[in-house]
Structure formats: C-alpha cells, structure tokens
C-alpha cells in the first residue's frame, strides 16, 4: 500500500500487446478557487495548487490515490500522492510521519538515488480540520518488478559497452541501488524494507529507493552495535538471518536485502521464498540454491 506499490499498479495495469487499452480513470475539474484547483479523481477529490494540471490516476491504495500532473511552474511532469485521513490510525500515522521525516532528511542532504520529493503542499483548511497530505514527487515509470529481464541489456548500454549484456544491466541497477543505500547509511538511516517493489525506475533507466515507512534514523548516535530495534521489519523473503533469530542488527541487513533483490533479478525468481518463518530459516540455513537449481 506504499507509494511504490501504487506506482507499480500503474505499470501492471497496462494492456498486453493485441489488447484494446483500457480507458484511463476519469478526471474532472470541479472548481477553480483562488490559487487552488479541485479535481474529482475517480471516487475521491484532489485539492491541488493551481500550478498543477491533473492528467490521470496512476495508482490507488489504502493510504490514498496517486495522480500524474503537469507542473506549469517547472514545465515538468510530476506525481502527486494524496494521503487521506493521516490521523485516523495511530500506527499508520506514525509510519507516514516517519517516511516524511526521512524523505526530508534525504532531500536536504542531497542523497542520490532515492525518491525525489519536490514539495509538500500546504494545507488549505484550518489546522483543526487538517486530515490529508499532498506529496509532490518526480514521476516514475514503475518499480523493479515491472522491468523485464530482456530490458536489462538495454539498461546495460549505460556502461558504454559496445555490446551490453544482461550482466551489464544488472550492474547498472545495483550501482544505483547501492548508491542510494550508501548515502542513506552515511546519514545514519537503515531502510529496513528493501525489496524489488521498493526500487523505482524512471524513463531514463535509472533506479531509486522508495517507501521509507519502516526506516530507522539516528543510528550514527548509537554507541553499541549491533543494536536492538523492532524485529518485525523487512518482507520475509529479503530478511537477514539476524532478524529471523531476533538478534541485534544494523546497516548490514539492508545489504543482505539488496543481495536478495539482485539474485531475484538475475534468476527471475526469489532467492529465499520461504512460506513462513520456519521455512525461511530452513532456506537460509541451506544457503543459496545452485545455479540453474
């Protein structure tokens, strides 16, 4: 239900070759009041600054809706996510606050290869009635699961190789992901939920980390390492062994997750697809499967 999941939905909902493409969800301008435009986007409304022209809905989840827009000020195409009812649930509210805080830290530090947030739209209503957040970001084409393996050769052209290979493409993906991880770790932040769905792609075949709702900051101030934090983080298939045995953990859990993501891209299937907690332990204890296995 994260921003990344919503963007992935927009890619996977496209028609296959030979099919009649589905009509995009209806967008209608309801009112133009002062410096605000009120749009109806499917079953919700979007109250956006008048610099934005809403074009289409590209994703929807339990947190809200994501729309594609033209920005008249910058001349660029952007995405706006409306996060609805941010104070309705305490756990969700904390996760949203954590993500916004981490994204701001990363932006202010000019961290590379992380989802670019350009601005947080100011609320129009009185603060006593404030309940929705509008987050403006760069526009992405999908997540890593939407990139066909055959496209890796094309991505590999970034290396300058005369005849790029799948391996060249995978190295480009990893270079981008690890750059984002390195900058994040340098700021004392662990992502704690790295997986293919949390790696976004843009139209220039570059890759960016997203979904920082489970991230943990302030680790540069932790005296003893590894430290004890919440164990219920990281999707099971990408979870490091120290998390499964509920031990202390630190930056290496992100590196383990990246390795699992890289293997999944290369093998076209998850490396450790455990059915449950015990099965995940069994697969990790057995080590990686042999090539072609």
- Encoded tokens for 260: 């699992």
Higher local confidence (pLDDT), 25 or 287: 287
d(CA 50, CA 273): 47
In this predicted model, which residue has the larger pLDDT, 231 or 114? 114
Q: What is the pLDDT of residue 217?
A: 80
Provide the 8-state DSSP code for 103.
H
Question: Residues forming the annotated binding site for ATP?
Answer: 82
Question: In terms of pLDDT, which residue wins out, 230 or 163?
Answer: 163
CA angle 118, 121, 123 (to 5 degrees): 165
Residue ranges of the binding site: 82
pLDDT attached to residue 21: 47
Three-class SS state of 253: helix
Q: What is the pLDDT of residues 178-209, one digit of tens each?
A: 999 999 999 999 999 999 999 999 999 999 99
The pTM of the full predicted model, rounded to 2 decimals, is 0.81
| C-alpha span between 234 and 243 (Å, rounded) | 9
Q: Which helix (H) or strand (E) holds 10?
A: helix 3-12
Residue 12: predicted pLDDT:
45
What's the pLDDT score for residue 140? 93
pLDDT in tens, 5-63: 444 444 444 434 444 445 455 788 999 888 899 999 888 888 999 999 999 998 877 67
Name the residue ranges covered by the structural domains of the chain: 24-138, 142-286
d(CA 37, CA 58): 19
Query: 142-286: same fold as 24-138?
Result: no
Enzyme catalytic residues? 193
Would you state the pLDDT for residue 17? 43
Lowest mean pLDDT across 38-47, 108-117, 119-128, 183-192 = 119-128
Q: Which one is the CATH code of 24-138: 3.30.70.100, 3.20.20.70, 3.30.200.20, 1.10.579.10?
A: 3.30.200.20
Token digits of residue 48: 């956006």
Please spell the DSSP secondary structure of 258-273, one letter per residue.
Answer: HHHHHHHHHHTS-SS-
Q: Does residue 271 have a pLDDT over 90?
A: yes
For tokens 């022209």, name the residue. Answer: 53
Name the nearest CA neighbour of 216 among 241, 242, 194. Answer: 194
pLDDT at 91: 84
Least confident of 3-12, 76-85, 86-95, 104-113: 3-12
Mean per-residue pLDDT, 139-161: 91
β-bridge pairing 77-83 and 117-120: unpaired
Report how far residue 200's alpha carbon sits from residue 2's, in angstroms, rounded to the nearest whole number.
Answer: 12
Q: What pLDDT was estimated at residue 228?
A: 43
Q: Per-residue pLDDT averaged across 82-102, rounded?
A: 86
Comparing 95-99, 101-105, 128-132, the range with the smallest average pLDDT is 128-132
Q: How many CB atoms are closer than 10 A to CB 232?
A: 9
Mean pLDDT, the chain, whole residue set: 84
Q: What residues pair up with 47 in beta bridges, in sequence order?
A: 38
* CA angle 270–273–278, rounded 5-degree value: 160
Q: What is the 3-state secondary structure (H, E, C) of 66-78?
A: EEEEEECCCCCEE
Domain 142-286 belongs to what topology?
Transferase(Phosphotransferase); domain 1 (1.10.510)
Give the pLDDT band (50/70/90) at residue 233: low
The dihedral through the CA atoms of 25, 22, 116, 271 has a sign that is positive
If we measure between CA atoms, which residue out of 107, 111, 110, 113 comes closest to residue 136? 107
Three-class SS state of 127:
helix
Q: What's residue 292's pLDDT?
A: 63
């Amino acid at each position: 239900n994260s921003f990344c999941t919503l963007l992935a939905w927009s890619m996977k909902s496209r028609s296959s070759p030979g099919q009649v493409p589905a009509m995009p969800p209806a967008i209608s301008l309801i009112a133009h009041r002062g410096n605000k435009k009120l749009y109806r986007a499917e079953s919700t409304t979007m109250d956006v600054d008048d610099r934005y022209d809403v074009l289409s809905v590209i994703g929807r989840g339990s947190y809200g809706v994501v729309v594609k827009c033209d920005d008249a000020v910058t001349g660029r195409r952007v995405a706006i996510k409306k996060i609805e009812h941010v104070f309705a649930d305490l756990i969700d509210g904390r996760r949203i606050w954590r993500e916004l805080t981490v994204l701001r830290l990363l932006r202010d530090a000019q961290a590379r290869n992380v989802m670019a947030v350009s601005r947080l739209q100011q609320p129009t209503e009185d603060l006593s009635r404030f309940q929705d957040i509008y987050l403006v970001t760069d526009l992405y084409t999908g997540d890593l699961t939407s990139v066909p393996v055959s496209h890796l050769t094309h991505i590999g052209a970034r290396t300058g190789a005369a005849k790029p290979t799948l391996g060249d493409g995978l190295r480009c993906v990893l270079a981008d992901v690890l750059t984002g991880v390195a900058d994040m770790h340098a700021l004392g932040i662990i992502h704690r939920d790295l997986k293919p769905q949390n790696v976004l792609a843009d139209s220039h075949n570059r890759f960016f980390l997203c979904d920082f709702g489970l991230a943990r900051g302030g680790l540069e101030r932790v005296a003893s390492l590894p430290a004890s934090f919440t164990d219920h983080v990281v999707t099971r298939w990408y979870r490091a062994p120290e998390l499964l045995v509920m031990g202390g953990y630190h930056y290496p859990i992100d590196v383990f997750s990246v390795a699992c993501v890289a293997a999944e891209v290369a093998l076209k299937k998850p490396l450790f697809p455990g059915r449950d907690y015990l099965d995940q332990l069994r697969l990790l204890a057995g080590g990686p499967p042999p090539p072609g296995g």
